[in-house]
A and B are shown apart, each in its own frame.
Chain A
Amino acid sequence: MIFTTYWFFVFVGIVFPIYWLLPWRQARLAVLLVACVVFHAHFAGAAGVVPIVVLAIATYVAGRSGRPGWCLAAILACVGALGVYKYAGFLVQSLVGLFDPHLAAQCVLWIKHVLPAAPPLAISFFTFEFVHYLYDVRKGRMRIENPADFALFAIFFPSLVAGPIKRCGDFLPSLHRGVASVGAEDVAAGLGRVAIGFGKKVVISDNLAQIINYYGPHFTEQPLGTRWLLFAAIAFRILLDFSGYSDIAIGLARMFGITLSENFRWPYLAKNLPEFWQRWHISLSTWIRDYIYIPLGGSRHGVTRKIINGFIVFALCGLWHGAAWNFILWGVFHGAGLAICGNYRQLLGRFGANAGMFFDRCPPLSWVITTVYVWLGWLLFFYPMPQAWKMATSLFSR
């Protein structure tokens, strides 16, 4: 975890006072840009920096030109790079493997030989931010003229590793406000948020991870109450780990006077699945809504199309989290949940309408069902399907 390295502490300890105490706007901008470059180069290495620089240049040039064709080409380049670096092995294994497992194994070996051992640092985040920018340029909504602005949008270090996924329409005004007028209240609020993030991540989530690693392999052998406690531990571990990371990113940005969008709003308080996705990894779910779901047609072409779009979107959302079937399955699981949640009132006629009314009048029950459903999803997310199934069924049997 990059934010818990000593290098990072030293880095922030050097960069932040310089940035804060400099009275000139342009100088602050320059310090921030240099810091972002140093941060990215240190953690990504040459093999991780070069592809991102190439994609960034392509994105900037295409955006600057404003030509829809160039933007589309750059979008395809970004998505293609993500596909090659992150998913080539998985896709070849899954698709070619259906017909010739031996050939698939050879192809995977070749891919491992040709590509770096790990994809470039944060390539998923870069791709989503570049695609958002290019899409909006195509639609004529914006265009970044200044290369320094674009560079800072691309490699702003607090959000580089784990988001939130930025929108340049929000980020750039905030960046310019920040470099012009970062104040003590920003620093105090930012430091507080960073402290909360470290507390969530280091004090709670990392300890939960130890407990899960210790008891997890023997989940089904535990007493029923312990199984449910472990089930909750798995759910809170991912929430606190991820939201802790987001808190650190948002707090750090705030220390520099820059406001990043919120990524989590008490997601386990959601009373239905759509509400959960309005509270969980908000920057990702809104990105998917705006740049995949709505372009696919969203809910504009009838119930069937809406359900299909939902499944496609959430399968992709799962795949975004990692190149493995369990992530896709997790996405489809949520797609199914949303399809049921969003349509049962119409599809089940009177019974559906009554059930919906009952759930509306009994929010605790809706909350319990939603929470258990979401938490069951985490079993699919973390464990292979047979193990997840065994764990899930053991929760409902003595």
Chain B
Amino acid sequence: MKYPSPIAVCVGVVVGFATCCVLGQLTTRKNIYQDFARLHPFLEQETSYYPTASQLVAVAHGQCPPASHKTLVVLGGNSVFNGSGQKRDELWSRALQEDLGDHYHVVNFSAPGAGAVDNGGVIFECLAREYPTALFVTNTEPGYYPAANRSAYSYLFWDAYCKGLLSHDARRTARLEREKATSDDADFKLSRELNSVCYFNDLWTYVSYRYVSTFWTSWLRGRSFQPRHRLRDWYDKRPKVVADESEFQKMLPDHLEALRHRRPVAADRFAQNSNGAWVQTAESLQQDEEHIADLLPDPLQRRSLIVFTPYNPWFLAHLTEAERTRAEISYANGTHLLEKAGFHVLSTYDSGFSPSDFGDTVHLSPAGGRLLAKLVADSIRSMDTASNIPAGR
């Protein structure tokens, strides 16, 4: 066999590689996700699928172009905001869109297990300059404020960070430098740096969505290699959420135990004073304050609404008096600390949710989703959307 000259081989390899890089970059130019409603399990990392920051930014661009002059509402948060258990048509964020009307456009980037500013928070920050009136709405529990680079979805933060999509924040830059010394994920960060130049993840994600996926996953089994666009929203085929006491009774042992270990309730963040009353320890308050300061760069807090995850009152009633007291203190302290940092807060503890609004301890039934949508819509309308958005990096 006659081989080409070394230079021709070199040029061929370089041109082929560069073509892939350009193709990868082109996939970020427009929204590739048809009729995007949320990051359901077939479109996120639970099934080894990692949409990139550029591609999620393109979703917002595609659904709500900056020229439309609508107020973009970016949703973040965990499975509660992701509408776990709600079918696509029952999704609470659809109810929120209907409630807010045509002057707003809601896009839901929440994901199961995400912290307050994972996914949605990162994409909101990427979009903040282009959409000066955009708002960010997310949910979390009091006491749980992980920075976007320290969470389960840190890949998205690093993707946005390395691509220069995030705003400049001196405090964050200094913190990342400090953390660099103790982190052991150098190869992961190198992959993000390389991707910011070569866009190989963007290309793979696009190919997996449009043509063929290359990972077997237990969620999909026989359908693992199908292009993801053929797979409908995972929750559409799940059984309907039945919210009744007999179901709760079956869940009680496990869910009550889990509830007792949730941050607002767990005793390790509290102490009893000389009168025997529970108080949150100064140390945990200080830690919460520091973590809150790392959530979003100033002044994006003023455009952000943090909703404290509502708990099913049926399960709350099974807590001890001391546990309920700790939860109330957590919600009150969390609200105070977040408001002090400039965030808007919607505390849903004891705010009108009934057991029939839930499918389990925290996840909402379609009815609960509609109530959440109404509460959030009211809060959004009352938010002050002052400008002062930082310039991009």
Contact = CB atoms under 8 A, between A and B. Distances in A.
Query: Which of A6, A191, A207: most chain B Cβ within 10 A?
Result: A6
B187 interface: yes
A6 B214 contact: no
Contact of B190 (A6, A185, A187, A203): A6
B3 A188 contact: yes
Contacts of A9: 194
Nearest to A185: B3
B214 A203 contact: yes
B4 A5 contact: no
B174 interface: no
A10 B4 contact: no
A191 B186 CA distance: 27
B1 interface: yes
Contact of A184 (B3, B186, B194): B3
Contacts of A211: 216
B3 A207 contact: no
Given A5-B187, A183-B3, A184-B4, A210 B194 contact: no
B187 to A, nearest CB: 5
Contacts of A20: 6, 10
A207 B6 contact: no
A210 B215 CA distance: 9
A185 B215 contact: no
Contacts, number: 43
A184 B11 CA distance: 12
B9 interface: yes
Interface in A1-56: 5-7, 9-10, 17, 20-21
Contacts of B190: 6-7, 10
A184 B9 CA distance: 7
A184 B10 CA distance: 9
A21 B3 CA distance: 17
Contacts of B215: 207, 210
A214 interface: yes
Interface string B195-229: 00000000000000000001111100000100000
B216 A210 contact: yes
A188 B13 CA distance: 10
A205 to B, nearest CB: 11
Contact of B9 (A10, A187, A210, A214): A187
B6 A210 contact: no
Nearest to B195: A6
B9 A6 contact: no
B5 interface: yes
A214 B220 CA distance: 12
A286 B121 CA distance: 58
Contacts of B194: 6, 9-10
Interface string B1-30: 101111011100100000000000000000
A207 B216 CA distance: 5
Contact of B217 (A6, A183, A191, A210): A210
B187 A7 contact: yes
Nearest to A202: B214
Interface string A157-189: 000000000000000000000000001110110
Contacts of A7: 186-187, 190
Interface in A186-210: 187-188, 191, 203, 207, 210
Contacts of B214: 203, 207
A183 B191 contact: no
Given A6-B190, A6-B194, A183 B6 contact: yes
A22 B6 CA distance: 12
Contacts of B218: 210, 214
A178 to B, nearest CB: 14
A390 B142 CA distance: 49
B13 to A, nearest CB: 8
Contacts of B187: 5-7
A203 B215 CA distance: 8
A387 to B, nearest CB: 20
B191 to A, nearest CB: 4
Interface string B211-253: 0001111100000100000000000000000000000000000
A210 B224 CA distance: 11
Contacts of B216: 207, 210-211
Given A10-B190, A10-B194, A185 B217 contact: no
Contacts of B10: 17, 20-21
Contacts of A207: 214-216, 224
B6 A184 contact: yes
Given A6-B190, A185-B1, A188-B3, 20 more contacts: A6-B191, A6-B194, A7-B186, A7-B187, A10-B190, A10-B194, A20-B6, A20-B10, A21-B10, A183-B6, A184-B3, A184-B8, A184-B9, A191-B13, A203-B214, A207-B214, A210-B215, A210-B217, A210-B218, A211-B216
Interface of B: 1, 3-6, 8-10, 13, 186-187, 190-191, 194, 214-218, 224
Interface of A: 5-7, 9-10, 17, 20-21, 183-185, 187-188, 191, 203, 207, 210-211, 214
30 contacts: A5-B187, A6-B190, A6-B191, A6-B194, A7-B186, A7-B187, A7-B190, A10-B190, A10-B194, A17-B10, A20-B10, A21-B6, A183-B3, A183-B6, A184-B3, A184-B4, A184-B5, A184-B8, A185-B1, A185-B3, A187-B6, A188-B3, A188-B4, A188-B9, A207-B214, A207-B224, A210-B215, A210-B216, A211-B216, A214-B218
